Amino acid sequence: MIVSMKKVSVIVQAHNKHSMLRDLRKAGVLHVFTENTRTEKGEELKKRYDSLFQVRSVILDKQDKKHPMVQESVSEEVFVELHDRYKDLLDTKKSLEEEIAKNNTLIEAVQPWGDFNPQEIASLREEGIRLSFYTLSKKDLSLLDADVSYIPLDPIGPLQAIAVIGSELDSSIPATRFFLPEQGLSTLLDQQNADTKRLAEIHASFIDAGKYLDAYAYQMKRMEQEIRFDQIANATDGGEDLCWVTGYLPSTEESGFSKLASQHGWGFIMDDPTEEDDPPTLIKYPKGVGIVKPIFDILGTVPGYRENDISLWFLLFFTLFFAMIIGDAGYGLVFLLAAAGLHAKAKKANTAVLLVYVLSIATIVWGSLTGTWFGSKMVLETLPFLQKLVIPSISNYPELFGLSAVSAQNQVMKFCFIIGTVQLSLACVLNIVHKVPKKDLSLFADIGWMIDVLALYFVVLQLVVGRPTNLGVVFGAVGTGFVLVCVFGAQGPGIPFGKGLASGLGGFFTTFLNTISCFSNIMSYIRLFAVGMASVAIAQSFNSMAGGMMDGFAMVAGILVLIVGHSLNLVMGILSVVVHGVRLNLLEFSGQLGMEWTGISYEPFSQTVKEN
């Protein structure tokens, strides 16, 4: 259920603004929208937060994840000193890494020339002896003019090194100039060793700083809280005498907020949101339905404040889709064991664990009904009691029950289309129920869509399964639904009937295309059959590959093929659930509902860390 909201404006004298905001933050019930305006204080706070984040990231990166350090608590003053120290170390670390990289390049360039003192070369230059260093091929060396004076040096690889005395070589000569560094090789190596040693010391310091990770986490949360406070303070309206802040409050908190305002002497205005307002969305899940929340959190989807809450239906259909797409009772057992492991590790069954339990049990049930256990026909033949759990008409091994594969597949496809028809019709019913209290005439358009869905289901059956139907009656029903949509589709509260009719008729072609889309939406549910069958086929292929390796020394390879193959199939099945199972809920079903998932989660202005 989407909790109804109240729009609230809290009014105080301007000099009481900050105390009011602090008390409001402690209450933690008012959702306040803020614009991304920039203030000098806000920029400074963000700069300090970024500094904390950078240092903590480096410290965290140096830790042994398997053996976390015992945390130490420190005072505010001590933490400031610690952070300044680690910030300086981080700056030094960056400088050293840059210097080491630079010296590495120099060492690689100088090493072939050997160790020498560049100062001695500079001294010769002061005495009038100018030397320029080059490498060139022996062939090019032999072609140098006789008036070029040079000193031959040790070869560098296939090239000859020379020191040219006097003027530099002409640019037309194919020689590579070597520019002397400011320091010699031994000096560079000594500097590199010193830098590396200092870098190791800094590395050790950051490892030791692991005992302050909790302190850093606390300070970052505190900084986030200060940034949020600055944003809210900047979002207040008013002048020199009065100021006010406006936000949204769950209607269930109305009486409590009134008492809070009375205690602090605040003035406030509380009213229902208007159509122009865009309140945040707070969902109160019915008992047992809250396990669907992890899915919404992963997807990042939030229904709009005025949209339908489909949590229950999403959970029911997603569970069915998951079971049909994974489609294997053996894989369901794997999920069940994984859920038990997570349960034991967490020492409690949180919503995510409960969700995995539900999905795994549903998969086991569906796999049992279709007789699918790790894609193996042998399991059913070896364990006859499993055959008693199978519904032969939808079995993946119908030959064991005297049925043909075609009839079983047709039955499963028909079941998929029934699911689609039921889900899309349910969307129409939910829309009708949602609009009746508002006396919204567009509910007749939803009745028209429901007629179209039910009629088009029979068209799908004839085209895909080959079940004959009376097309005259079907298209008559589709035409009736089409007319209802055209006449009532643009109606609504406060809209004159004639204006709504004109607008609806004006969208004639769009309605026609949407009717065709309605047909394709029902067809889309065949993906449950197709993906489920593909998963079974892949499992059977790996079983067949491993079947020929189950003798002698090859048995190890056979077992490895089974483990790797089924693991890969299981991962692909999970990806298919994300692609197909979620799609049917968020596109086909939600599209029929007219949902856009553009809601903003209710996140009240609240205190996240204790204030000093």
* DSSP H helix total and E strand total for the chain: 23, 8
Residue closest to 331 by CA, chosen among 292, 354, 363: 363
State the Cα–Cα distance between residues 225 and 301, nearest whole angstrom. Answer: 25
CB 593 within 8 A of CB 431: yes
Say which amino acid occupies 126.
E
* Same-domain pairing of 518 and 395: yes
Which tokens go with 15? 């000099």
State the Cα–Cα distance between residues 243 and 91, nearest whole angstrom. Answer: 44
Average pLDDT score over residue span 257-267: 92
| C-beta pairs of 249-256 under 8 Å, 24+ apart in sequence | 249/5, 249/6, 249/7, 249/8, 249/29, 249/30, 249/31, 250/3, 250/4, 250/5, 250/6, 250/29, 250/282, 250/602, 251/3, 251/4, 251/5, 251/6, 252/3, 253/29, 254/6, 256/29
Average pLDDT score over residue span 574-589: 89
Strand 160-165 versus strand 131-136 pairing type: antiparallel
Average pLDDT score over residue span 401-410: 89
Is there a domain that residue 54 lies in? no
Structural domain ending residue among the three candidates 183, 211, 233: 183
* Same-domain pairing of 550 and 433: yes
Is there a domain that residue 275 lies in? no
Average pLDDT score over residue span 261-288: 90
> What pLDDT score was predicted for residue 554?
75
Is there a domain that residue 264 lies in? no
Count of the separate structural domains present in the chain: 2
Is there a domain that residue 202 lies in? no
* Same-domain pairing of 354 and 488: yes
- Is 0.85 topped by the overall pTM? no
Q: Provide the terminal-to-terminal Cα distance of the chain, rounded to the nearest Å.
A: 38
Is there a domain that residue 75 lies in? no
Residue 29 has pLDDT above 70, yes or no: yes
- DSSP helix/strand/coil, 302: coil
> What pLDDT score was predicted for residue 612?
52
Is there a domain that residue 460 lies in? yes
State the Cα–Cα distance between residues 159 and 137, nearest whole angstrom. Answer: 5
CB 327 within 8 A of CB 370: yes
Is there a domain that residue 23 lies in? no
Residue closest to 497 by CA, chosen among 425, 458, 548, 441: 441
Strand partners, 8: 247, 270
* Same-domain pairing of 295 and 179: no
State the Cα–Cα distance between residues 392 and 353, nearest whole angstrom. Answer: 33
> What pLDDT score was predicted for residue 125?
83
Average pLDDT score over residue span 196-200: 93
Cα 261 to Cα 228, 344, 557, 592: the distances in Å are 22, 46, 73, 43
Give the count of alpha carbons within 13 A of 37, CB side only.
Answer: 12
Average pLDDT score over residue span 274-291: 89
Average pLDDT score over residue span 273-288: 89
Q: Which helix (H) or strand (E) holds 371?
A: none
Residue 467 has pLDDT above 90, yes or no: no
> What pLDDT score was predicted for residue 511?
86
CB 367 within 8 A of CB 379: no
Residue 539 has pLDDT above 70, yes or no: yes
> What pLDDT score was predicted for residue 354?
92
- Unique residue bearing structure tokens 């020199």: 240
Residue 230 has pLDDT above 70, yes or no: yes
Reported as a single tens digit per residue, the pLDDT across 478-503 is 999 999 999 998 888 888 888 888 88
Average pLDDT, the chain: 89
Cα 451 to Cα 25, 250, 585: the distances in Å are 51, 38, 21
* Same-domain pairing of 328 and 448: yes
Q: Which helix (H) or strand (E) holds 582?
A: helix 582-583
Q: Which helix (H) or strand (E) holds 334?
A: helix 329-346
Residue closest to 118 by CA, chosen among 164, 99, 110: 110
Residue 34 has pLDDT above 90, yes or no: no
* Same-domain pairing of 300 and 156: no
CB 247 within 8 A of CB 31: yes
State the Cα–Cα distance between residues 396 and 405, nearest whole angstrom. Answer: 8
Residue closest to 366 by CA, chosen among 406, 429, 416: 416
Is there a domain that residue 76 lies in? no
Average pLDDT score over residue span 199-226: 92
* Same-domain pairing of 538 and 417: yes
State the Cα–Cα distance between residues 453 and 482, nearest whole angstrom. Answer: 11
Reported as a single tens digit per residue, the pLDDT across 140-197 is 888 888 888 888 988 888 999 988 888 888 888 899 898 888 888 898 999 999 999 9
Range of the domain at 127: 116-183
